[in-house]
Structure 1
Amino acid sequence: MLKLFDLTLQINGFPMKEAKAELQKILAIPEENFEDFIEQKKREIVNFHLKNNPFYKELAQTASFQNWNDLPILNKQNLQKPLKERLSLGCTEKAVYLNKTSGSSGHPFIFAKDKFCHALTWASNIYRFGWYGIDFNSSYQARFYGIPLDFIGKRKERFKDFLSHRYRFPVFDLSDEILEKFLQKFKTKKFDYINGYTSSIVLFAKFLQQKNIVLKTICPTLKVCMVTSEMLFEKDKLLLEKQFGIPIVNEYGASELDLIAFQNPNGEWQVNSETLFVEILDENNQVVPNGTSGRVVITSLFNKAHPFIRYEIGDIGILDEKSTPKIPILKKLIGRTNDVAILPSGKKSPGLTFYYVTKSIIEDDGNVKEFVIKQTKIDSFEIDYISEKELDSVQIQKIKEAIDLYLEPNLNFHFTRKSVLERTNRGKLKQFTSFLQRK
C-alpha cells in the first residue's frame, strides 16, 4: 500500500526515514545507559543554543554550560516577542516548521521547530499509536477537532485530512441534531480509531448514553479512542469505555513540544523520554522526589531552531515512584480542564472553541500577553486581557466577526484591559470559565 502519510511529510521536507531510524536507535539504548544518553543530549542542546541563539544566551546569562540547575526556567511570557528574535542563527521562518500554540493556558505565541525535530515528533507519534495497532498510513481516523471556517482555511484542512486518512467532526456545535449526524457517519464509515478533544468526545458519549447505543456495535471496525488537549476525569473515562466499547487512551501533549505522555497498554501514562526531558519542580525550582506534585518543566532535546530548555508548560504533575530514566511514568496531571459554553440557541461549544476565536487576536508583535474569557450569562461573555496597547475598534470588530462565525451571532462581549489577571490556586490561567449554573 502507498504510504501517503509518510510520503506527504517527506515531500514537505520532513526527513521521516532519518527520524524513524534515530528513534529506533534511542529505543534500543538499554536502561542502564539511558541516563548517560539524556545527560549527553541535555548538554548538546544547551551548548548549541548558547552558541547559536542570542535570545537564549541573553536569557541564560552565561556563555558556557556548567550546571543544569543554574539554567533559567523558561516561561511563556519570555516567548512573547517576535519569532525572528527567538530563532537560532541560520534559521529562517521559511526553512522551519511554524505553528501557533492554542493559548489554552492564556499565553499564545508562535513557535518554530527545525525540520528534523518535527519529523522526530511524528516518528514518536507513529511509534506510540502503533502500540494499539494504529498505522497513520492505513488506519481511518474519526477526528473530533476544530476547523477553520474561512473557505481557503477549511479547504486546506480538509485536504490535510484526506492525506492523513481521517474524517473530521467539527466540534464548534455539539447540539443533539449535529451529534445525530455524527452517529450516522459511524454507521456508514469504517473508522479504526477516534482522536480528538476530550470534552467533545465526552459529549458524544453522553449523547450515545441517552440513546442507549454502544458505538462499537454500529461501527465494528473501531479499535481504540485517543483523547487529548483536556483533562480526562475518571468518571468520563468509564463513560467512554462503556459507550464506545473500546479501550480509551489518554494523551498529554503540547504542540510546541511533542507528545509528553501517552497511556501504554499497561494503563500507565508513559512519559516520552526519547525526545523530551521532563522535570517536576517545586516553587524554588528544585526537583521534587517522585510521588510529589510540582510544576511540569520540559526540555526539547532535539529542537535546534528554537530553545525549549527547562520550559514551564503551566501544568502541575506527579511522577510515579516506579519511574526510571528510560520509562518515566506520569502518575497524575493536575489541572488542564476546559468548560463547555452553552449558548442561547441551545448549542454547546467546548471551551477550546475559544482557541479558534482568540487566534484572531494573536499577532506576532506580542501585543496581547494574556487573556481569559468568562461566560457570565447565557448570552454574555467577558474577555479580560493584558496588552501593551489597548485593542482598537478594528481588532475588536475582527474578534466579534470570529465569534459570530465560530459560535453564533448576537452574543455580547465586553473587553477589559487589565494590568493583572486572576489565576487558579495553582497559579494557572484558565482560558475559559463558565459561571452559568449547571444542572
Structure 2
Amino acid sequence: MIQKIYDNSPVFLQNVMISIKGLQIIRQRYNKYYKEEMELLTSNIDPFKLQEDRLKLFYDYITNHSEYFSRMKNIINEKLTISDINKLPLMNKETIRNHLDEIVTRDRELIEMGTGGSTGKSMKYYTHPYDISRKIAYLDFFKLKHGVKLGMKRASVGGRSIVPMNQKSNVFWRYNYFLKQLYFSAYHADGNNLKYYIEKLNEFKPLSIDGYTTVIHRWAQYINNNNIELTFKPIAIFPTAEALTPEMKNDIEKAFKCPVRNQYASSEGAPFITENINGELEINPETGVFECRKIEGNIYELVVTGFYTTTTPLLRYEIGDSVELNQELPEKYSQKDIKIKRIIGRNNDFLMSNERGIITNVNLSTAIKAAGNSVIASQFIQNEINEVILNLVVKENVDRKRLEKILVEQLNIRFGHTTLYKFNYVDRIDVTKGGKTRFTINNLGNEVVK
C-alpha cells in the first residue's frame, strides 16, 4: 500500500516520504551506541590491541547467547585469541541458511536483512540497531579521516527503487532532507539520461559522493568524453559494492578532481578494508579478524570474523571474496603482516586460463583500455575454461574487425593462445536485481578456480 501511494505521488511528495524514512534511519543509526563507538575509535591508539580485546568479548557474547555457537565451548572454553581462532569450524552462507534460528543471539528489535544474491543465491539474516549503529560509526570514522563529516551535503547512488515505472520525467533522484542526501537511481544512469545526472550534480554541489562504482565511473566517462567542467569539487568520493580498477579510479579522479577512496565490507557484516590518506589499502583490525587462504601467488581468499555482527554472528565466515597482497604471507602470519595491494572481490570475479592461471579484473580492464574510447562498456563471462564471452557496448561506426583484433592480441598476452573469444555487441550491460553491473562473471565452479 505504501509503495503504491509513493509510486502515484508527485516527486515533491516522494521527497517528503523519503525524508521521513531518513528521519527513521537517523533515530535507528545515530544513537548512544553510535556515539560510544565514535568516541572509542577516535581516541584509540592501538587498533591491533583493540582487535584482540574485541575478539574475546565477541566470542564470550556469542557463545553465551547463541545456541549454535554455544557448542564452540567444547573446543575453546576460555578467552579466544587470534592465534587459536583456526581451531574453530568454518561457516558459510549455507550455514546461515540452514541454522539461522540457532545462530541468532537476540529475539528483540531484530531487523531482517538480505544479501543481493550476486553469486546466484540470496541469504536472509538478522541485525540489530546495536550492530548497525556501530558499523555506521566506523564508516563515518573512515570518511572523517578523509575530511568528510557527518551532515555534509552528500550524493549517493545505489540499488533502491526510487523512480516509479510509470514516471515520464527525467528526474532520476530523490532528496532526503534530514540526511542532506541526494539519492540517485542506479537503474537509469546510462545513455542520454547521463546528462540529467550531471546537470543535477552541478546544481546540488555535493561535498562527497558514494555508491555503486560502475555508475560513478559512467558519470566520470561522460564528463571526460564531453569535456564538461563541473561547478563543484567534492572533498572525496567513496565507491562501494563493486570492484574499483585503477583505470576507473583514474577516470573518476580526472572528472571530479578529488581523491577516490576505496573501501571493502559486505552487507552481511565483513570487517572493513579501507584506503588511507596515502592511497594504500589496509585492513581495519578494530572491525574484525582477517584470515587469508592462499589461492595462487599473492591472491588469497578471505575468511572473516566481524565484530559488528553480534546478532547473526560471523565467526570464521567464508565470505567468498579475495584480495591480492603485496607479498606472500609467511606460514605463521600475524594480522600486521596482511598488506593489501588490491581488492579483487567475489571469488568468481576473476577468470581462468589454462596456461596462465588467474586473470584478475585489473588485467582485463587494461586490455579494454588498449581499445581506446571505442568501447563504452564491457563484460567478461566464462562458462568454459577455454572460452571467454565478451559483451561489448561500442560507439557507432566502430570498425568491429579492428577492435576484435586489438582485443584478441591483448587478451592472448593475458590468457595465452589456447583461449577462444566470442564477441557479443549489445545496447547495454545487464544489471543484477540490486542494480549492480558485474564486469566479470566466472561460471566455472570452485573446483576449477581452486
- Superposed, 1:141-220 pairs within 5 Å as 141-148=154-161, 161-213=176-228, 217-220=229-232
- Measure the CA separation in 1 of the matches of 2:149 and 2:22: 11
Change (3 A) 1:76 1:348: same
- Measure the CA separation in 1 of the matches of 2:222 and 2:238: 18
The residue aligned with 2:69 is: 56
1:50-84 residue CA offsets vs partner (Å, 9 max, x unmatched): 23212334588747357321111211121123743
Cα drift, residue 173 of structure 1: 2.8
Q: Would you say 1:111 and 2:133 are equivalent positions?
A: no
Aligned to 1:140, which of 153, 177, 188?
A: 153
1:204-255 residue CA offsets vs partner (Å, 9 max, x unmatched): 2222222122xxx323242221111111111221111112222111121201
Aligned to 2:290, which of 278, 287, 303?
A: 278
Which secondary structure state, in structure 1, belongs to the residue aligned with residue 68 of structure 2?
helix
Query: How many correspondences in the alignment?
Result: 347
- Measure the CA separation in 2 of the matches of 1:276 and 1:60: 20
- Measure the CA separation in 2 of the matches of 1:96 and 1:328: 34
Cα drift, residue 334 of structure 1: 2.5
AA paired with 1:141? R
Cα drift, residue 27 of structure 1: 4.8
The residue aligned with 2:317 is: 311
Contact persistence 2:202–2:232 (CA under 8 A)? no
Which secondary structure state, in structure 1, belongs to the residue aligned with residue 197 of structure 2?
helix
Cα drift, residue 124 of structure 1: 0.5
Change (3 A) 1:292 1:164: same
Q: Would you say 1:80 and 2:97 are equivalent positions?
A: yes
Of 261-270 and 162-171, the range deviating more from structure 2: 162-171
- Measure the CA separation in 2 of the matches of 1:129 and 1:170: 23
The residue aligned with 1:365 is: none
Q: Would you say 1:423 and 2:445 are equivalent positions?
A: yes
Q: Would you say 1:230 and 2:236 are equivalent positions?
A: no
Contact persistence 1:76–1:107 (CA under 8 A)? no
Which secondary structure state, in structure 2, belongs to the residue aligned with residue 142 of structure 1?
strand
Change (3 A) 1:40 1:312: same
- Measure the CA separation in 2 of the matches of 1:374 and 1:105: 12
Which secondary structure state, in structure 2, belongs to the residue aligned with residue 80 of structure 1?
helix
Q: Would you say 1:354 and 2:430 are equivalent positions?
A: no
- Measure the CA separation in 2 of the matches of 1:210 and 1:373: 21
AA paired with 2:132? H
AA paired with 2:64? K
AA paired with 1:192? L
AA paired with 1:298? V
Contact persistence 1:252–1:261 (CA under 8 A)? yes
- Measure the CA separation in 2 of the matches of 1:116 and 1:50: 18
Contact persistence 1:281–1:296 (CA under 8 A)? yes
Contact persistence 1:273–1:327 (CA under 8 A)? no
Cα drift, residue 298 of structure 1: 1.3
- Measure the CA separation in 1 of the matches of 2:187 and 2:426: 12
Which secondary structure state, in structure 1, belongs to the residue aligned with residue 286 of structure 2?
coil
- Measure the CA separation in 1 of the matches of 2:40 and 2:208: 28
Q: Would you say 1:298 and 2:304 are equivalent positions?
A: yes
Cα drift, residue 167 of structure 1: 1.3
Which secondary structure state, in structure 2, belongs to the residue aligned with residue 201 of structure 1?
helix
Change (3 A) 1:150 1:203: closer
Change (3 A) 1:319 1:160: farther
AA paired with 2:323? G
Change (3 A) 1:17 1:159: farther
Aligned to 1:256, which of 263, 268, 271?
A: 268
Aligned to 1:330, which of 327, 340, 348?
A: 340
Q: Would you say 1:123 and 2:137 are equivalent positions?
A: yes
1:260-311 residue CA offsets vs partner (Å, 9 max, x unmatched): 122111111132221222221247xxxx9xx943211111124321210111
Cα drift, residue 179 of structure 1: 0.4
Q: What residue ranges of structure 1 are gaps of 5+ in the alignment?
A: 358-371, 376-383, 385-420, 429-439
Q: Would you say 1:40 and 2:53 are equivalent positions?
A: yes
Contact persistence 1:225–1:248 (CA under 8 A)? yes
1:75-94 residue CA offsets vs partner (Å, 9 max, x unmatched): 11211237434312xx22x5
Change (3 A) 1:184 1:345: farther
- Measure the CA separation in 1 of the matches of 2:190 and 2:446: 30
- Measure the CA separation in 2 of the matches of 1:68 and 1:324: 12
Cα drift, residue 38 of structure 1: 2.4
AA paired with 1:24? E
Contact persistence 1:237–1:248 (CA under 8 A)? yes
Contact persistence 1:171–1:350 (CA under 8 A)? no
Cα drift, residue 148 of structure 1: 2.1
Q: Would you say 1:11 and 2:27 are equivalent positions?
A: yes
Q: Would you say 1:241 and 2:253 are equivalent positions?
A: yes
AA paired with 2:209? I
Change (3 A) 1:22 1:168: closer
Which secondary structure state, in structure 2, belongs to the residue aligned with residue 310 of structure 1?
strand
The residue aligned with 1:268 is: 280
Name the TM-score, length of structure 1 as normaliser: 0.67
- Measure the CA separation in 1 of the matches of 2:226 and 2:163: 34
- Measure the CA separation in 1 of the matches of 2:125 and 2:158: 21
The residue aligned with 1:24 is: 39
Of 68-77 and 300-309, the range deviating more from structure 2: 300-309
Change (3 A) 1:246 1:26: closer
